[in-house]
Amino acid sequence: MGSPEHTSLHSFPNTRGLTGLSTCLALGLSLATCLSPVHSAIILSANYLEGTISAWDSQSFNSISTFASGLTQPLGVGVDNAGFIYVTTFDTTGSILKYNTGGAVVDSITGLPFRPYAITEGPDGFLYTADASGQRIVRINTDLDSGSLSTWTTMVGQPTALEFDSAGNLFVTTAANGDDVQKFSPTGTLLQVLADDGTLGGFPSGIALDADGDIYVGRSFNGADVAL
């Protein structure tokens, strides 16, 4: 399936785990990180090699501070409507850590039997994270209650990044099986597959939407920007 009318898809190389349009445009060509805007002035980036979460100024793109350190393979960063920050990590099992804006861990869930990638809050107030190896999207409440953990939908391909649009549809980048973008309804039904012709490549691992319906994709490896 192709791209719908009046929707364009832009791809940026050398990025990982982008969420938010300003993040994609600001740092998409330089940081191999998982990014999420905390508010209009600050961007958080997760460096899975160094095990750190860093804060960046979204206007100057200068480093502000290290938000958290000593983490094992942080893969994704998300922020909920209450301002809490969620970081996904993986050692031999997966974890989700919940931080307040001061950088203190206030809650967590550990021992997850999968590697959680991107994490974002949905319009229903639940958190959604990508289980790449399990080829599914997992849902959990913001209290990180293990009893609320469930499979929201399964899919073809390995999901790496997530972004909701204003209508509650979820857009998911996939890797290792076509490198495409899949669009799901608010109930988890696959509606459309975008860029399934191999034009993305480069391990698409970040996605952002703007108000005009344009889709921006960040890639972990090199490649030219494309628009569909």
Q: Give the pLDDT of residue 60.
A: 63
Question: Over the chain, what is the mean pLDDT?
Answer: 76
Q: How large is the average pLDDT for residues 4-26?
A: 37
Q: Evaluate whether 222 touches 13 at the Cβ level (below 8 Å).
A: yes
Q: Which of 77, 69, 83 is nearest to 36 (CA)?
A: 77
Most confident of 4-13, 80-89, 143-152, 204-213: 143-152
Task: Give the angle subtended at the CA of 76 by the CAs of 71 and 80, to the nearest 5°.
Answer: 110
Domain 9-219 has CATH 2.40.37.10: no
The DSSP H or E segment spanning 86 is strand 85-90
pLDDT for 37-92, tens place per residue? 444 456 777 788 889 888 776 656 677 788 889 999 988 888 888 889 999 999 88
Say yes or no to pLDDT of 24 above 90. Answer: no
SS3 132: coil
Q: If pLDDT is split at 50, 70 and 90, which confidence band does 25 have?
A: very low
Those residues whose C-beta lies under 8 Å from the C-beta of residue 170, and which sit 6 or more positions away, are 122, 128, 137, 162, 163, 164, 183, 184, 186, 188
Q: Where are the domains of the chain?
A: 9-219
Spatial separation of the C-alpha atoms in residues 17 and 205, rounded to whole Å? 5
Please state the φ and ψ torsions of residue 64, each to the nearest 5 degrees.
-100, -50
pTM above 0.95, yes or no: no
pLDDT for 157-166, tens place per residue? 889 889 899 8
Task: Give the angle subtended at the CA of 22 by the CAs of 154 and 155, to the nearest 5°.
Answer: 5
Of 69-73, 109-113, 178-182, least confident by mean pLDDT is 178-182
Those residues whose C-beta lies under 8 Å from the C-beta of residue 212, and which sit 6 or more positions away, are 6
Q: How is residue 158 written in tokens? A: 């390995």
Place of tokens 């501070």: 65
Q: How far is CA 163 from the centre of its chain?
A: 7
Q: Evaluate whether 170 touches 181 at the Cβ level (below 8 Å).
A: no
